[in-house]
Amino acid sequence: ISILSHWCDGKLEILAEDEVNNEDAESILGKLGVLEFDLESYNVDWMKKYKGKSEIVLRPKSVQEVSEVLKYCNSENLAVCPQGGNTGLVGGGVSVFDEIIIQLGRMNEIRSFDEQSGVAVCDAGVILENLDNFVGERGYMCPLDLGAKGTCQIGGNISTNAGGLRLLRYGSLHGTVLGLEVVLADGTVLNNLSMLRKDNTGLDLKQLFIGAEGSLGIVTGVSILTPKKPNSVNVALLAVPNYEFVLENFKLAKSHLGEILSAFEFFDSKSLQLVLKHLNQLRNPLPNTEDSKFYVLLETHGSNFEHDQEKIEMFLEAAMEKEFCSNGSLAQGEGQVRDIWAIREGIPEACGKEGAVYKYDISLPLKSLYSLCEVVEKKLINDKIYLPNDFENSLVKQVLGYGHVGDGNIHLNISAKQYDSRVLNSIEPFVYEFTKKNQGSISAEHGLGVMKGKFISYSKSDEMITVMKNIKNLLDPNGIMNPYKFLV
């Protein structure tokens, strides 16, 4: 009640549990125009794997409100959990206990767009797809694209340093974000919404907040460089007999399509089967390719359609001739481009519909990328958690893999009947040990969150972790920013 009273005369939107039901609370909530009492959607993550117990969700409308809230929480030692679109896959955006959730969805204005340079400045709560549509109407596109674009927010993307489907071509947010506005734990506003591509004056502080997962402050504003939308887009889907040939196709694609290649994605046949099973509207554009263990989706972004199509056709001919693929299809028109992408982007949703999913987002040298799935499958068989011919009695249903070959990033998904400690103990820390032994990273693009905070030492040295903790202590000495995660 005292927290609510504090903002009683403000414009802040507050959502609170209906437990707060005495008269005082009701009058306070009434004055504030509380919109809902059911906080379930804020307390549970996208996978329904992580559940918090927050009783208050604050939805600020301006940087001043965020500043005031953090100043108060810091002075009262109240922990907060920043939340964007809540599509994160490591449990970072939901509270662990009863931290106050600060949800950025009402900060959703695009502040400016420069049609010469392509620099967009916007609030952190703008949904990625809305930003993409806005700049799209002006001939530009977001440098970042991912399956959750209709829900995730640009502030969440920056806070997780999301990679997505076209990092291969347009690079990471560490390069395309030109400036940030951030509110620190004590309410200080760091305004660095630079629109400059070059600025070598002192330390580049914004880089600290890209991928900080809400542990250092709340991102409220973003300045981002958007590239020109391509005049010509081509998409091809290949059926590939084995993983070695996935890599051969990648090498071939780079030599035929180097300057126009914008995505090179892959998925195994088990992923495709799940999509076809659960997303009824989708069809396999390459029927009768059941013998192929893998599928490759490649995309080009260029400026001359005839020229690009000629190149991609030559690539396809060469791949067929060398038998790197058993079949291939070049999308004809925007509808087919969308349909092929829908298969790749539908895999996380299809996995979710199968039951519980253990998701591992791992970077590895390309040669060992898919072997991660193979060794995990073998391990689960040895541990008798996975019984290949006895799905009815097995806890684990299947092990599958897909991801961004172009970035050396695989998403290992273990689908199970339910979340169960026996399955988890069989997978972890095995997956992280394998990753470390093969010079990989235990988090390629999803971050650490609750899931991987305690495993950071598989990818970072003690000295590096100490420096990270020192920075955290400097910026958030009371430890109110998204505690119990990330750096634990």
**What is the distance between the alpha carbons of residues 452 and 485, in angstroms, rounded to a whole number?**
8
Q: Within 60-89, which residues bind ligand FAD (CB under 6 A)?
A: 81-89
Q: Which value, in Å, is the radius of gyration of the alpha carbons in the chain?
A: 23
Does residue 343 belong to the site contacting ligand FAD (CB under 6 A)?
no
The smaller minimum CB distance to ligand FAD, of residues 316 and 487, is found at 487
Does residue 159 belong to the site contacting ligand FAD (CB under 6 A)?
yes
Q: Which residues contact 63 (CB under 8 A, 6 or more apart)?
A: 107, 181, 183, 189, 220, 221
**Minimal distance in Å, beta carbon 26 to ligand FAD?**
30
**Minimal distance in Å, beta carbon 272 to ligand FAD?**
16
The residue from 211, 214, 230, 302 that contacts ligand FAD (CB under 6 A) is 214
Does residue 403 belong to the site contacting ligand FAD (CB under 6 A)?
no
Alpha helix locations (H) across 85-184?
A: 128-136, 154-160, 167-170, 173-176
Q: Which residues contact 302 (CB under 8 A, 6 or more apart)?
A: 230, 231, 232, 234, 259, 260, 308
Closest CA to 412 of 173, 89, 88: 89
Closest CA to 205 of 162, 171, 161, 174: 174
The residue from 52, 60, 93, 105 that contacts ligand FAD (CB under 6 A) is 93
Cβ-closest position to ligand FAD? 156
Q: Which amino acid, one-letter code, is at 167?
A: L
**What is the distance between the alpha carbons of residues 465 and 299, in angstroms, rounded to a whole number?**
38
The residue from 118, 163, 179, 187 that contacts ligand FAD (CB under 6 A) is 163
The smaller minimum CB distance to ligand FAD, of residues 124 and 246, is found at 124
- Using CB under 6 A, which of the segments 51-59, 213-221, 231-239, 419-427 binds ligand FAD? 213-221
**Minimal distance in Å, beta carbon 54 to ligand FAD?**
12
The residue from 60, 118, 143, 155 that contacts ligand FAD (CB under 6 A) is 155
C-alpha distance across the termini of the chain, in Å: 30
Q: Within 444-473, which residues bind ligand FAD (CB under 6 A)?
A: 445-446, 449
**Minimal distance in Å, beta carbon 35 to ligand FAD?**
19
The residue from 32, 119, 124, 414 that contacts ligand FAD (CB under 6 A) is 124
Instruction: Map tokens 């900080």 to a residue.
Output: 212
Which string of DSSP letters, residue by residue, matches 351-375?
A: HHHHSEEEEEEEE--GGGTTHHHHH
Q: Which amino acid, one-letter code, is at 50?
A: Y
The residue from 7, 46, 113, 386 that contacts ligand FAD (CB under 6 A) is 46
Q: Which residues bind ligand FAD (CB under 6 A)?
A: 46, 81-89, 92-93, 104, 124, 146-148, 152-153, 155-157, 159-160, 162-165, 213-214, 218-219, 348-349, 445-446, 449, 482
